[in-house]
Amino acid sequence: MNSQAQKKLGIVIAGSLNQGIQARLDNNVSVEEVTVGNLVTIQGKSRRFFGMINDISLEVTDAGILQSSSAAEDSFISEILSGTATYGAMQVAPYLTLGVDNSLTDGPQPVKSIPSHFSPVLLANEADIELVFGRESKENFSIGNPLDMEVKLCLDLPEFVRRSNGVFGKSGTGKTFLTRLLLVGILQSGAAVNLVFDMHNEYGWKGTREKASPVKGLKQLFPSLVSVFTLDEKNSIDRGVSTDFVVNIGYDEIKPEDISLLRQTLNLTDQAVSATYQLQKRYGNRWIEEAMKLEDNEESAEILNSLNIHDATFGNLKRGLRNICNLPFVKPQVKERAVEKVLEYLENGKHVVLEFGRFRDITTYILIANLLTRRIYERYQAKTERAMANDSAPPRPLVITIEEAHKFLNPGVASQTIFGTIAREMRKYNATLLVIDQRPSGIDEEVMSQLGTKITGLLDSERDIDAVLAGMSGKSALKSVLSKLSSRQQALIFGHAVPMPVAFRPRDYGTPESYKELGSLRNDVDDDGLEDLW
Amino acid sequence: MALDLHKVASSLFGMTNDFAASQETRAENLANAIKIFASANNAKSLKNKVEASKTSWLVAEIVNDFNGKHKPGALPEEFGILATDGSQIDVDRHRGARCYLINIGTVALKYGNNPRAELNSHPLLFSKEEDLAARPDNYIPGREMMVEGSLLGIRRTVEEFKYLAELCAGIPKKDKALALVDGSLIMWGLLSKEYPDYIVDAVLENGILQQMESIWQLNSERQVALASYISFSRSTDVVNALRVLVCPHEKADCDKYCTGVSTEERPCACFDGIRDRDIFWQSLDCDERSDVFASRSRINCTRYGRHRVHFYYIKTFDEIARVEVPEWVANDAELLSLSHSLVINQCYKGQGYPVALSEAHEQAVVTGADRENFYHLMDEYMAGKKLSVTISAKSLSKKTRWV
Amino acid sequence: MEGVNERLGEVIEASTGGFSAQCYKLYELPALGELVKCHYDETEILAVTCGGSTNSFEPGRRPIARGHDETSEDSLYQNNPQLNQLLRSEFGTVVVGFRQEGKYYHYLPSFPVRLHSFVYRCSDEEIIAFGESLEFLILLEGAQCEVPVEELIAACIRRMSVSNGPDSGFSVRAGKKLTEMYSGDYQRLRAILARLR
């Protein structure tokens, strides 16, 4: 089965299970050829090990050699010394063991022992990758290639959507592209329905690309499966995007919890936030309507007094509320509830991308995302419980994609948002999150720990790196790989959906071939003429 | 505790004192002698006077001139040097088997465009009756001489000449060569003891003279000179001619005129202690030879025939050597010149002594260790044949140092 | 089997670790570090020359300067033909292995060579075949010889490198073996490597 010749890199010379394996490079392998993040197999006496290179070093048997100038100046001597007195070494973090005869009965197991001295270390080949990560199939979605390899790296989608996940990386590292890929994967496999809060209008119809023409969005690839909702009809029309629904929010849909989440962005005082609860107690769903009616008069003052709301507090609150009510999509009344529409589509198996058009400010984003999600989740909870009681089919698994996650999930507010709840409750009610963020250190630790799989591009802040890797065993090994990722088109994936951490190059998204492959469920899209349709 | 140097030191010291004292006198005498030598310009008259005189010492026969000097001729381009030397392991009376060993070293050197060298040694073991004892043809038991000691040495010399003649026989035609031996051509040893005639015949007519004859015969097709080299000669032949020169009597007659006269009072006393080499060291320049003289020793004159021994002195860079040649060399200008220039050349190559002779000596020499090894081997063979190796008590006692 | 190998000399002293041989012709010594062989029944014993000398046959006789009046060194020898008979050239060797039934072994044979064995130069093919393993360098390293061990090893490697050819990478392979042997003693290693050119 494993007929492809594997390149031998070196032999094991030292190491421990905790610190990793140290291997010495063979004479004919240049230390410059070896890169962190490469996957290797180690052929032990009775087992095969699978691991990743996470450090490379230069060693010398005799420090005196470094003092001597002859080794540096004389290529003959340095050629002799290389591989004998001077040699390259690499640090390998072992993750899995396989039986020597590649028996597939057990498959790869988490590593519990280490290879013996002088075991050969070989570069992993295609067969090894397929053995560990599986072959591409409906449920095994190819997200790219492991570094420096041609073979496809697959992600177990059903496993992926079982838990909340995160996509991280500093700006410009391709988080949006990665997210798009994941969404396409979920879509292709049918493992879940997506609800995407598309803050920058990147996912629905088309997305931007640096120094190139725009890429196709989800709807272009899967016109019949994806629907685009918009908060800003005009903007969508201007951009040539056909939308399926225009979202408006009625005053009565906004709850004090929603306002509470916006305390920072609206500059509300604590008392103002408390006041919302008072108002709601008094006025129920119409509390905003009523609050806006309250003028600077005696009557109002009385009411406020009776609610124990201070003047200044109310002023502060009203100002904040006015900000919200001034939003074009916030209307006193709406005909069709967006929540209902969204749920309708989701239940029918349609994926929903909500564009925000011009309304890209964080206040809007948090408000809408939280508001809609809260209601959708309530429904999901109810449905799931009913299904359990009746022993009937539960609602479709739902993946909710949110960007700028640290705004929703920072320690301060994580306990208050619905997203924190969803993350904590895992898949209890068949809804999970896909959080996208460039500042993972801003996300609540507990929430981070609930994320099943993380995909991260280059992070340059030590705190961000620590936050992403928190709780991972072998953290320091991954840290060195993570910090060496290229700033573009390289990412590290680890967690439940992959048997072991792996650094990879995400697959192309934007070339005609990629569209063909990604959009393969539906081939009624004419690549060339698409732009002209609009 | 072998030699007590302390006890002999004072005697040594006294001896050197005596030497020092006599040096001054000697120096005066020498200067005088040289003056006389240099001024002797009538060689013919001196020659006659010498022939007419009866002296108690040997006087050189003047052949042509007396005090001449001769530079060496040009070296030929190609020439050969042949030399032999010998040594012996004498009969050891304290040993079981009676035998003696003569070891002859032979050297054949070729100089020129194709230089070659052949260095060999030829050990000869003698154990048969006819070798151990010299007997005349009409042998009467009791009238034999044991070949040992000085007679063995004489026998050895004969063997040296035999090998020399053989070497010479190998000289290609038309080549030039010099055959060399060490020591005198005159068998002085025969004179010192009373050797019966049959011995003398064996040594001379049937011995060395026969070999010299065969070497002489080779000259019909080649040029082969024969010479002997005497280093640091103690001869006084020529000085004695000066004695005759200064003798006041018309014909010198030591018995007649100087019996009873003390040594110091004799007219020729000024030449006491002066040797030929002292004279020629001053008078010759480096590489030069003296005039040729003949030896008036009786045996030379009566038995040597055409090989009658002549001689001349040469000055090498550090000594005066006496070169003896047979008459057929002395009378042949080319052969004489050949002997002179080749000997000089050999001395240069040999650090003052002819290199062929020193190499022949090296080939011939039998060291003490060689002797021991020889006897050892002999004993082993004897023991192997179960023959008794009786060793005398004296021999044993000398073998190890015991308390 | 004499074959076409050149005969270099004859063994005059022998022990398991090495032997000395006298050359047949004066001054026709093998180079330092040359691979040579002797036969012992069915075995070929291989050795590396570790030094040569020319001196007088007899220990008591020392050569003296003779050329004061000579115009050239050649004329000195021409004018003293007895020198060829009185001097001899000899060379010493260190045994580095042996060949039995076509296979090379890079450790000491059980017995020393016999006296008066003929010593032959090894051919290029034999040198290449023997040099496939470099284990014998350890035997050279421990040799007692008059030249420093570093010179001996370097000379041997240079000579074998010539037979192997400049592109064979033999020198580099030998250098790597030396690096193993001299680990911890870089100065000595460097001294040898510098002499490998």
> What is the tens place of the pLDDT at every residue in B79-103?
999 999 999 998 887 776 788 999 9
Q: What is the mean pLDDT of residues B388-403?
A: 67
Q: Is C73 on the interface with B (CB under 8 A)?
A: no
Q: Please report the pLDDT score of residue B263 as a whole number.
A: 79
CA–CA dist A178, A185 (Å, integer): 11
Q: Which range marks the domain in which residue A364 is found?
A: 159-248+336-533
Long-range contacts of B388-394 (CB under 8 A, 24+ apart): B388/B96, B389/B95, B389/B96, B389/B97, B390/B96, B391/B94, B391/B95, B391/B96, B392/B93, B392/B94, B392/B95, B394/B94
How many domains does chain C contain in total? Answer: 1
Q: How many CB atoms sit inside 10 A of residue B114's CB?
A: 9
Residue of A nearest to C170 (CA): A80
Token couple for A510: 């934007």
Q: What is the mean pLDDT of residues A464-487?
A: 87
Q: Please report the pLDDT score of residue B117 as a whole number.
A: 93
Per-residue confidence band for B131, with pLDDT thresholds at 50, 70 and 90 = confident
Q: Is C66 on the interface with B (CB under 8 A)?
A: yes
Name which of A27, A61, A64 is nearest C187 (Cβ-Cβ). A64
CA–CA dist B403, A41 (Å, integer): 87
Q: Please report the pLDDT score of residue A190 as a whole number.
A: 86
Q: Please report the pLDDT score of residue B390 as a whole number.
A: 63
Assess if residue C45 is contained within a domain. yes
Per-residue confidence band for B127, with pLDDT thresholds at 50, 70 and 90 = confident
Q: What residues of C are in contact with residue B356 (Cβ under 8 Å)? A: 82
ipTM over 0.90: no
Q: What is the mean pLDDT of residues B33-51?
A: 89
Of B285 and A446, which is predicted with more confidence?
A: B285
Q: How far is A163 from chain C (nearest CA, A)?
A: 54
Q: What is the mean pLDDT of residues A209-235?
A: 88
A451 and A422 Cβ atoms separated by less than 8 Å: no
In sequence order, the 6+-apart residues with CB closer than 8 A to the CB of C120 are C2, C5, C6, C7, C8, C36, C37, C38
Q: What residues of C are in contact with residue A80 (Cβ under 8 Å)? A: 171-172, 175-176, 178-179, 193
Cβ separation B111–C61 shorter than 8 A? no
Same domain, A352 and A216: yes
Which amino acid, one-letter code, is at A173? T
Assess if residue A512 is contained within a domain. yes
Assess if residue C2 is contained within a domain. no
In sequence order, the 6+-apart residues with CB closer than 8 A to the CB of C103 are none
Q: What is the mean pLDDT of residues C3-19?
A: 88
Counting as contact any 3 or more CB pairs under 8 A, the partners of B are: C
Cβ separation C190–A83 shorter than 8 A? no
Same domain, A89 and A77: yes
Cβ separation A80–C190 shorter than 8 A? no
Chain A residues whose C-beta is within 8 A of a chain C C-beta are: 27, 61-62, 64-65, 68, 70-71, 74, 76-77, 79-81, 83-85
Q: How many CB atoms sit inside 10 A of residue A298's CB?
A: 8
Q: Please report the pLDDT score of residue B41 as a whole number.
A: 86
Q: Which range marks the domain in which residue C148 is found?
A: 7-194
Q: How far is C71 from chain B (nearest CA, A)?
A: 14
Cβ separation B119–C86 shorter than 8 A? yes
A413 and A364 Cβ atoms separated by less than 8 Å: no
Helix (H, G, I), strand (E, B) or coil at B13: helix
In sequence order, the 6+-apart residues with CB closer than 8 A to the CB of C20 are C11, C12, C13, C14, C90, C91, C92, C93
Assess if residue A197 is contained within a domain. yes
Q: Are strands B116-126 and B100-111 parallel, antiparallel or unpaired?
A: antiparallel
Name which of A27, A64, A79 is nearest C186 (Cβ-Cβ). A64
Per-residue confidence band for A46, with pLDDT thresholds at 50, 70 and 90 = confident
Cβ separation C171–A76 shorter than 8 A? yes
Assess if residue C29 is contained within a domain. yes
Q: What residues of A are in contact with residue C196 (Cβ under 8 Å)? A: 76
Q: Please report the pLDDT score of residue C143 as a whole number.
A: 87
How many domains does chain A contain in total? Answer: 3
Angle at B396 between CA B390 and CA B402, to 5 degrees: 155
Torsion sign over Cα A472, A474, A476, A480: negative
Measured in whole angstroms, the distance separating CA B6 from the mean position of its chain's CA atoms is: 37
Q: What residues of C are in contact with residue A28 (Cβ under 8 Å)? A: none
B223 φ, ψ to 5°?
A: -120, 100
Q: Please report the pLDDT score of residue A4 as a whole number.
A: 53
A313 pLDDT more than 50: yes
Assess if residue A419 is contained within a domain. yes
Same domain, A392 and A443: yes
Token couple for A191: 């493992």
Per-residue confidence band for A524, with pLDDT thresholds at 50, 70 and 90 = very low
Q: How far is B38 from chain C (nearest CA, A)?
A: 33
Instruction: Record the pTM.
Output: 0.68
Per-residue confidence band for A528, with pLDDT thresholds at 50, 70 and 90 = very low
Q: Which of A151-155, B5-9, B356-360 has the highest mean pLDDT?
A: B356-360
A3 pLDDT more than 50: no
Q: What is the mean pLDDT of residues A160-187?
A: 91
Q: In DSSP terms, which residues pair with A506 in a beta bridge?
A: A144
Cβ separation C82–B109 shorter than 8 A? yes
Per-residue confidence band for A194, with pLDDT thresholds at 50, 70 and 90 = very high
Q: What percent of chain C has pLDDT over 70?
A: 98
Assess if residue C1 is contained within a domain. no
Same domain, A240 and A91: no
Q: What residues of B are in contact with residue C77 (Cβ under 8 Å)? A: 115
A2 pLDDT more than 50: no
**Residue pLDDT, tens place only, A380-394:** 888 888 888 888 888
Residue of B nearest to C77 (CA): B115
Which amino acid, one-letter code, is at B334? E
Mean pLDDT of chain C: 90
Which one of A86, A117, A133 terminates a domain? Answer: A133
A367 pLDDT more than 80: yes
Mean pLDDT of chain B: 88
Same domain, A427 and A346: yes
B322 pLDDT more than 90: yes
Mutate to test the interface with C, among B79, B111, B287, B365 (most CBs of C within 10 A): B111
Token couple for A183: 């969404």
Chain B residues whose C-beta is within 8 A of a chain C C-beta are: 107, 109-111, 115-119, 348-349, 351, 355-356, 359, 362
**Residue pLDDT, tens place only, C65-83:** 888 888 898 888 888 888 8
Q: Please report the pLDDT score of residue A333 as a whole number.
A: 84
A499 and A491 Cβ atoms separated by less than 8 Å: no
Q: What is the mean pLDDT of residues A338-345?
A: 90
In sequence order, the 6+-apart residues with CB closer than 8 A to the CB of B211 are B158, B161, B162, B164, B165
Cβ separation B115–C79 shorter than 8 A? yes
A333 CB-contact burial (10 Å; exposed 0-12 / middle 13-18 / buried 19+):
exposed
Cβ separation A79–C172 shorter than 8 A? yes
Cβ separation A76–C197 shorter than 8 A? yes
CB-based burial, C156-194: b 16+ in 10 Å, e otherwise: bbbbbbebbeeeeebbbbbbbbbbebbeeebebbbbbbe
Assess if residue C104 is contained within a domain. yes
Q: Please report the pLDDT score of residue B43 as a whole number.
A: 86
Q: What is the mean pLDDT of residues B197-213?
A: 89
A51 and A503 Cβ atoms separated by less than 8 Å: no
Nearest alpha-carbon partner for A455 in A157, A179, A50: A179
Q: What residues of C are in contact with residue A66 (Cβ under 8 Å)? A: none
Torsion sign over Cα A250, A253, A257, A261: negative
Helix (H, G, I), strand (E, B) or coil at A40: strand
Helix (H, G, I), strand (E, B) or coil at B254: helix
Q: Is C78 on the interface with B (CB under 8 A)?
A: yes
Q: What residues of A are in contact with residue C184 (Cβ under 8 Å)? A: 61-62
Cβ separation B355–C80 shorter than 8 A? yes
CA–CA dist A302, A311 (Å, integer): 10
Name which of A62, A80, A83 is nearest C184 (Cβ-Cβ). A62
Q: What residues of A are in contact with residue C193 (Cβ under 8 Å)? A: 70, 76-77, 80
Which amino acid, one-letter code, is at C166? P
Q: How many CB atoms sit inside 10 A of residue B22's CB?
A: 12
A45 and A119 Cβ atoms separated by less than 8 Å: yes
Assess if residue A140 is contained within a domain. no
Token couple for A190: 């049918």
Counting as contact any 3 or more CB pairs under 8 A, the partners of C are: A, B
Same domain, A522 and A399: yes
Cα–Cα distance list, A534 to A205, A234, B255 (Å): 11, 15, 165
Which one of A264, A293, A325 terminates a domain? Answer: A325
C162 pLDDT more than 90: yes
Q: What percent of chain A has pLDDT over 90?
A: 26
Assess if residue A287 is contained within a domain. yes
Q: Please report the pLDDT score of residue C66 as a whole number.
A: 83
Cβ separation C193–A65 shorter than 8 A? no
Rg (CA), chain B: 24
In sequence order, the 6+-apart residues with CB closer than 8 A to the CB of B153 are B88, B189
B59 and B237 Cβ atoms separated by less than 8 Å: yes
CA–CA dist A194, A186 (Å, integer): 8
Which one of A299, A325, A351 terminates a domain? Answer: A325
Lookup result for tokens 């001294």:
C191
Q: Are strands A109-110 and A20-25 parallel, antiparallel or unpaired?
A: unpaired
Mutate to test the interface with C, among A62, A69, A87 (most CBs of C within 10 A): A62
C111 pLDDT more than 80: yes
Assess if residue A493 is contained within a domain. yes
* Interface size, chain A vs chain C, as Cβ–Cβ contacts under 8 Å: 46
Helix (H, G, I), strand (E, B) or coil at A9: strand
Mutate to test the interface with B, among C82, C86, C88 (most CBs of B within 10 A): C82
Helix (H, G, I), strand (E, B) or coil at B104: strand
Name which of A61, A64, A80 is nearest C176 (Cβ-Cβ). A80
Mean pLDDT of chain A: 85
Q: What is the mean pLDDT of residues B124-147?
A: 81
Which amino acid, one-letter code, is at A213? S
Assess if residue C151 is contained within a domain. yes
When mean pLDDT is compared across A176-185, A334-343, B387-396, the lowest value belongs to: B387-396
Cα–Cα distance list, B287 to A150, B181, B320 (Å): 99, 20, 10
Sort residue A252 into left (φ over 0), alpha (ψ -120 to 50) or beta: alpha
Q: Please report the pLDDT score of residue B392 as a whole number.
A: 67
Counting as contact any 3 or more CB pairs under 8 A, the partners of A are: C
Q: Please report the pLDDT score of residue A531 as a whole number.
A: 44
Cβ separation B118–C58 shorter than 8 A? no
Longest dimension (CA), chain B: 74
- Identify the DSSP state of B208: I
C78 φ, ψ to 5°?
A: -60, -40
Q: What residues of C are in contact with residue B115 (Cβ under 8 Å)? A: 77-79, 81
Assess if residue A142 is contained within a domain. no
When mean pLDDT is compared across A227-236, B57-66, B92-101, the lowest value belongs to: B92-101
Assess if residue A148 is contained within a domain. no
Name which of A61, A64, A83 is nearest C176 (Cβ-Cβ). A83
Half-sphere exposure (CA, 13 Å, Cβ side) for C2? 5
Assess if residue C130 is contained within a domain. yes
A533 CB-contact burial (10 Å; exposed 0-12 / middle 13-18 / buried 19+):
exposed
Q: What residues of C are in contact with residue A84 (Cβ under 8 Å)? A: 176, 179-180
Helix (H, G, I), strand (E, B) or coil at B40: coil
Per-residue confidence band for B376, with pLDDT thresholds at 50, 70 and 90 = confident
In sequence order, the 6+-apart residues with CB closer than 8 A to the CB of C104 are C46, C97, C98, C129, C130, C132, C133
Q: What is the mean pLDDT of residues B190-208?
A: 83
Counting every residue written for chain A, the total comes to: 534
CA–CA dist C15, C117 (Å, integer): 13
Q: Please report the pLDDT score of residue A527 as a whole number.
A: 43
Instruction: Tell me if there are at least 3 CB pairs under 8 Å linking chains C and A.
Output: yes
